Amino acid sequence: MTTIPVSLGSRSYDVVIEAGLLARAADWLAPLSRGRKMAIVTDSNVLPHLETLQTSLSAAGVESEAIVLNPGESTKSWAQLEALTDRLLDLGIERGDHVIALGGGVIGDLVGFACAILKRGCGFVQIPTTLLAQVDSSVGGKTAINSRAGKNLIGAFHQPALVLIDPQVLDTLPLRQVRAGYAEVVKYGLIDDPEFFDWCEANAAALLAGDPDARVYAIAHSVGAKARIVAEDERETTGKRALLNLGHTFGHALEAEAGFSDRLLHGEGVAAGMALAFQYSATHDLAPAADAERVAAHLRAIGLPDGVAAAGISASADVLVDHMLHDKKMDAGTLPFLLARGIGRTFLDKSVDLADIRVFLAA
């Protein structure tokens, strides 16, 4: 078992990682139940894991009530947020209670935001069931829903009380979902850890094939990297946490054009976005062209998109830049971009002209 602390003073919590953890989840959850029924929010793709979790709770004498939502990005909406908060209120959730988010990033984001606003804040626990959620969205306290204007534009910072990660649940995921999650794994190497990128190049195939040691190492390394960054810059005030957005500005524009649907998964958009960020950096002599090609080649080799066309997007540069204008990171009319001076040397650039991005995308 690996336990990684997220050190945030009074809001600190642990991320516990162990194969088979879900079947023993009650060991950590029972003390949080306060002898009351616990609400579990999940989606219909996760029902086998829901049964495992409820069996564990029941054996520990903890009653639970499941709220099963539809899977997919469309669930991160105002309508679903209203329905979920109403249901939690009907269940009598109190400020001192902890709601369990069992699922991928959509469930974690929605439940976290609901708990941030329910009675001005109640507790919640993340039990992520996708690789992407395990290495990224379950840690750090970013919660949100989507709006017509864009992705994650309505949200709040609300840290979980606990994160429980069982790598074995990934065995039930389609390969495409694991691949999409891997994009957020390799991101940590591209940000500031070239040795980890080397490890990814050597071990990505094993990770995707289900090698348990590779998966545990990748998850623990990624969570550790994110925990350190979040502890330094919880709310993106110093710029350190902004590095975690590598690939997301380009990626969110691609996702928006795909209608935030399964046509382009979030991790696939991030992969294409990271390749574009490195390509843009290379074309402006910020990063070696060989590094940009190395990144693109690695993404291609494991079946992830390395650009706009590879992501299945045929929109014009004008359309994609219009999507970027709604990015939540827009500040005083300027959109910061994560660029690179090489692999493991990502930096935040607040001077990028969107007109130049338009020319780059058009080319």
Please say if 245 is a catalytic residue: yes
Of 166, 218, 228, 163, give the one whose Cα is nearest residue 189: 218
Active-site annotation holder among 151, 152, 184, 329: 184
Please say if 142 is a catalytic residue: yes
Active-site annotation holder among 179, 226, 298, 323: 226
CB neighbours of 301 closer than 8 A, spacing ≥ 6?
A: 204
Please say if 248 is a catalytic residue: yes
Active-site annotation holder among 65, 201, 236, 293: 236
**Which single residue is written with the structure tokens 């947020």?**
81
Active-site annotation holder among 248, 298, 323, 329: 248
Please list the alpha-helical segments (H only) found in the chain: 26-33, 47-59, 78-90, 105-117, 131-132, 175-192, 194-209, 212-232, 248-257, 266-283, 289-301, 317-324, 354-362
Q: Are 306 and 344 in contact (CB under 8 A)?
A: no
Active-site annotation holder among 98, 151, 215, 252: 252
Tokens of 165: 């990660």
Of 134, 140, 136, 141, give the one whose Cα is nearest residue 164: 134
Q: Are 326 and 319 in contact (CB under 8 A)?
A: no
Active-site annotation holder among 142, 151, 179, 298: 142
Active-site annotation holder among 245, 257, 268, 329: 245
Q: What's the CA gap between 27 and 31, in Å, rounded?
A: 8
**Which single residue is written with the structure tokens 């090698």?**
211
Please say if 236 is a catalytic residue: yes
Query: Quick one: angle between helices 47-59 and 26-33, nearest 10?
Result: 70
Tokens of 123: 């507790």
Active-site annotation holder among 98, 151, 241, 329: 241
Q: List, by residue number, the catalytic residues.
A: 120, 142, 184, 226, 236, 241, 245, 248, 252, 266
